[in-house]
Amino acid sequence: MADKLTARAAADSRQENGREWAALCTCAKPAGDKALLSEAFHGVDWTALPGLAEDHGVTQLLATAVQKLPAEAVQSGIRATLAERQRTQHFFTLRMSAELFRLAERFNAQNIGMMVVKGPALAVQAYDDAAMRNYGDLDLLVRHADIARATQLMMDAGYEPQIPLSAIAAGRIPGQYMFRQPESKLLVELHNDRTMRYYPRPLPIERLFERSVRVRLDGREVAAPAVEDHLILICIHGAKHFWERLIWIADVAALIARHPEMDWARALQAARDVGAETMLHGGLLLAANVLKTDIPREVLAQAKANGAACAMAAQALPWLPTAGETPPGLLERGLFRMRMRGGLAPGASYLLRLLFSPTEEDWDANAKQGRRFLDVLKRPFRLAKKHGTHLKN
């Protein structure tokens, strides 16, 4: 109970003082103005700012902005603290890049197609710097047909799988295939066209591989989604997590700003193909509203005309500044999920599919093949128990 009260007090404190939130939003804007930057930091609580930036995943963006401020505008010790966090992230990025190259060579040797999503690939595409955004693991996309071989490859590379080969052979589909290296504690997640369950329609993985691009990391190249496909992926990911962190909106804004050549017709068609128009529109609306992102007029007009996207973005704005400390209640979550798909009928169908699509958290390890329906039936009750604590409606 004390922990809940402490979290609530911290959230209330953040809501009362919006200067820190406003400062972070200024840091996250793709086009920085030094005059606006100095004004944004006037009167902020410097002791609270680094923690809030960490919660929102924008520490690197804050550190970069602070470097542009005159020395007298920054509280003593803050610049050094942020510089140390930047160095830590740089070392971590180098370590993860080296591991990525090692794994990429193994995937290539086994003729298993793989591309990097989010993490360092997105950081390069959006910020031109692999260390500009925080991430704690590597996310790799492979074909479902290759997942058993990819799992064996990861085991041979020294990783322990969270999902055993026996579960893969039995046809069970987790939320992701997590791997952990015991000694180094490195984490890698494999995703495929079956685990991307928040895509309303099946992920067209062959099309993503056909359109993939090469992203340069530390002098070497790795495969990553085309910017149009990555934009849709991160909008779906942000909506999946209720847009509770500023970094997810900053990624959308930065990706758009750094790629004026983006093929918007392709992006919009790709979103329609997977039923994610509302999630794409919602991400664009949040980027335009929160970070004043310059989006082509006709594209923004389509987003504003999408009533479900407008409602979803409006629903996310109140809880966004607290970085997940004031999560939506059970009914709010359900309404948000329905809006993600757009429209009452498709929204209800989408919500029901998510409710009754079990992940590894729902699995009964001892259940026989014919009794797997119990995994499906108990999932809604597990979710209600998990999120019902925050029921407000």
DSSP structural state of residue 365: T
pLDDT of residue 293: 95
Give the pLDDT band of residue 364 (cuts 50, 70, 90).
Answer: low
Give the residue-averaged pLDDT of 36-50. 89
**Residue-wise pLDDT tens digits, 7-33:** 443 444 445 458 999 999 999 998 766
pLDDT, residue 9, reads: 37
What was the pLDDT predicted at 37? 82
Residue 384 predicted with pLDDT over 90: no
Alpha helices in the chain (DSSP H): 2-16, 19-28, 34-40, 49-56, 59-67, 78-109, 119-127, 147-156, 165-169, 205-211, 227-240, 246-258, 264-273, 277-291, 297-305, 307-316, 330-341, 344-355, 373-387
Query: How confident is the model at residue 264, as a pLDDT?
Result: 98
* Average pLDDT over every residue of 166-174: 92
Can you tell me the distance from the alpha carbon of 282 to that of 376, in angstroms, rounded to the nearest whole number?
A: 30
Residue 2 reports pLDDT greater than 80? no
60 within 8 A of 134, measured Cβ to Cβ: yes
pLDDT in tens, 200-249: 999 999 999 999 999 999 889 999 999 999 999 999 999 999 999 999 99
Tokens of 199: 């895509």
352-376 mean pLDDT: 70
Looking at residue 308, what is its pLDDT? 97
Whose CA is closest to 343, among 377, 317, 368, 306? 306
Question: Residue 70: which pLDDT band, with cuts at 50, 70 and 90?
Answer: confident
The confidence band for 194, taking pLDDT boundaries of 50, 70 and 90, is: very high
Name every residue whose Cβ is closer than 8 Å to that of residue 91 and which is 6 or more positions away in sequence: none
Of the chain, the percentage scoring pLDDT greater than 90 comes to 74
Per-residue pLDDT at 7: 42
Compare 161 and 371 and report the one with higher pLDDT: 161
CB 341 within 8 A of CB 200: yes
With a cut of 90, say whether residue 188 has pLDDT above it: yes
pLDDT at 10: 41
pLDDT over 60 at 250, yes or no: yes
Identify the pLDDT of residue 17.
55
* Closest C-alpha to 14, from 319, 244, 292: 319
Give the distance, in angstroms, between the CA of residue 344 and the centroid of all CA atoms in the same chain. Answer: 26
Q: Are 117 and 190 in contact (CB under 8 A)?
A: no
Give residue-wise pLDDT tens across range 323-346: 988 888 889 999 999 999 998 999
Q: How is residue 222 annotated by DSSP?
A: E
- Structural domains in the chain plus CATH codes: 14-76 (no CATH), 94-225 (3.30.460.40), 226-346 (no CATH), 356-393 (no CATH)
| pLDDT score for 103 | 97
Q: Which of 12, 364, 371 is nearest to 167 (CA)?
A: 364
